[in-house]
Amino acid sequence: YNKESIIKVLDSYLIEDESVINKEFDRLYNKLRSKYSEKELYISIKNKLFQKGFNIEEINCLIEKKQRN
């Protein structure tokens, strides 16, 4: 395989991964928002996403985006 085709395939997985982490965040947010205060909610979501195997940098970036909105 050539390098360009491998990079193209890997880039497509990263895009799909973003949609997966967004869906999982929304699901957890809706499930946990009535149980925790805002600060505790984001900490709990962060822990659960990390346990599911998402990259900590992606999690932190997503939480920062969500908190700004």
Burial class (CB in 10 A: 0-12, 13-18, 19+), 29: middle
CB 21 within 8 A of CB 59: yes
pTM above 0.75, yes or no: no
pLDDT value at residue 50? 95
3-state secondary structure of 54: coil
Tens place of pLDDT per residue across the chain (69 aa): 899 998 888 777 755 567 889 999 999 999 999 999 999 999 999 999 999 988 899 999 999 999 888
* C-alpha gyration radius of the chain: 15
